[in-house]
Structure 1
Amino acid sequence: MDLVTPGGGLRITHQRAGSGAALVLLHGGFGFDSRAWQPQFDDLTDEFTLVAWDAPGCGGSDDPPASFRMADYADCLVEFLTALGLHRPHVLGISFGGALALALFGRHPTLPGSLILTGAYAGWAGSLPADEVQRRLQRIGEDLTHPPADWLATYLTGMLTESAPEEMVGRMLALMSDIRPGPSLTMLRAMAESDLRDVLPTIDVPTLVLHGDLDSRAPLSIGRELHEQIPGSQLVVLPGVGHLSNVEAAGAFNREVRSFVRTASTR
């Protein structure tokens, strides 16, 4: 696990492997970190350089201030990518990571070479009704006052389908069990307050919206809205797959990503 200290002073850990065009991987919330991308590291490093960060407050990275919001995460990501010497990388984000990819483009539009948005939102404020945003925040705020073992499984049922293998469910729960309550609440507040709809029509890089049709965390209607608002974007729907499509349908997911990045790299 390599370490980079961006200009903002936060130590950021990450995984890097492979060779070829750079593909930056941005994980979601709820205790996830760079380890969530293992199915991609197992398959795509033969053709691409994969770089997966641990967002502030996740994995081995430092905790952010409680005041951190999406713009701060985006600026921290830019400092991280600059420290690694990455320019015009392909950027793939899932859930929170998808919103972060949009925020990155909104604040630093010349940095990403392309975008892949998976189970993504234009921020919760930009994709969900206000009462649903409030309901999620209240529930999470309450749950985070209790031991993770008491409630994490109730969230995973909304991320994987009922047909997900028991081994996969156990592996994701083990990963999520490393959740850090304070930083996770900071991340989720950033997500809740973000409304990135104004970024969508300005996107001028190749963009793939990759969505599971059984995603109950970010319903497919949200993916369709992103696709409709982003000029020239592609929409690929993975059948029978939930929110964590990179894990539950890793083979199909990786094929779509490989094909898209190959094409985007030639533009």
Structure 2
Amino acid sequence: MDVDRRNNVTVLGNPQGPAVVLAHGFGCDQNMWRLTVPALAEDYRVVLFDYVGSGRSDPAAFSEERYASLGGYARDAVEVCAALDLRDAVFVGHSVSAMIGVLAAGMAPERIGALVMVAPSPRYLDDDGYRGGFRAEDIDELLESLDSNYLGWSAAMAPVIMGNAERPELAAELTNSFCATHPDMARVFARTTFLSDSRDDLKTVTVPTLVLECTQDAIAPREVGAFVHQAIPGSTLVTLDATGHCPHLSAPEATNQAITAFLAGLR
């Protein structure tokens, strides 16, 4: 299996430095990390990839059965790490990739030695004693809209996810990213993402972990960041002075500063 081709793997930065793997969220691709890479490239070996079904990955490798669970995406991440023979890499996951990183660390603890969770959410649905940010009917409506009119859904949801209404170019970029994803593959990833419940998986995390949340995030409210932080013993929670669900695009300086400070503490 040619993992490099399957997942469009890119390796940048210092080949002698510790490895940092940057993993994108739903509807995105590795290009979303372009403002973070320069902050890491001098000191770290930076690995980027696209999940199958996203970006410039190989669409022929897509399997609805495999990617109907977050475990399938975690296997992508583990296989990328194995193909590069990474050891104790830092896995930086945005949104749903934060939970994918948790699963990947459990699958291959020798490969992943620390986690950075950017705007994570272990469950998007509200539950008794838990606020995920969405009611069941909200998720049903979201998925029905995505199924019936993916391009329209993309245009409507991107501004909500991105926030920062005064900077419409950010929402436009996210819309374009959504629209570049094959609708059938996006539907599978969306259902896997928004119907997932990874709360119990947080208890399995034993590696150093940084949790990054935004002051205002329509997708992962601050109650979620507090929940993740409390569920992972010894984790560090940083609240970024940022709005929206994509701080690595809307507030890259603050995001990069928090990540690099955490990485420096690991060395």
TM-aligned CA deviation for residue 136 of structure 1 = 2.0
Deviations 1:93-132 (A, max 9, x none): 0111111111212333332110001111124469766973
Structure 1 residues 1-267: aligned runs within 5 Å: 5-6=2-3, 11-19=6-14, 20-29=17-26, 31-63=27-59, 64-67=62-65, 68=67, 69-124=69-124, 132-133=135-136, 135-146=138-149, 148=151, 150-264=152-266, 266=267
Task: Note if contact 1:99-1:191 (Cα within 8 Å) is conserved in structure 2.
Answer: no
Distance 1:233 1:178, change over 3 A: same
Task: Note if contact 2:211-2:235 (Cα within 8 Å) is conserved in structure 1.
Answer: yes
Query: When the two structures are superposed, what TM-score results if normalisation uses the length of structure 2?
Result: 0.87
- Residue identity matched to 1:11: R
Measured in 1, the distance between the counterparts of 2:89 and 2:251 equals 24
Distance 1:137 1:74, change over 3 A: farther
Query: When the two structures are superposed, what TM-score results if normalisation uses the length of structure 1?
Result: 0.87
Farther off after superposition, 93-102 or 186-195: 186-195
Measured in 2, the distance between the counterparts of 1:17 and 1:177 equals 27
Higher helix share: 2
Measured in 2, the distance between the counterparts of 1:188 and 1:161 equals 19
Task: Note if contact 2:214-2:239 (Cα within 8 Å) is conserved in structure 1.
Answer: yes
SS of match in other structure, 2:220: coil
The runs of 4+ residues in structure 1 deviating greater than 6 Å are none
Task: Note if contact 2:162-2:174 (Cα within 8 Å) is conserved in structure 1.
Answer: no
RMSD over aligned Cα atoms:
2.4
Measured in 2, the distance between the counterparts of 1:167 and 1:131 equals 26
TM-aligned CA deviation for residue 60 of structure 1 = 1.3
Percent identical residues? 26
Q: How many pairs align?
A: 258
Task: Note if contact 1:137-1:192 (Cα within 8 Å) is conserved in structure 2.
Answer: no
TM-aligned CA deviation for residue 164 of structure 1 = 4.7
Measured in 1, the distance between the counterparts of 2:136 and 2:63 equals 22
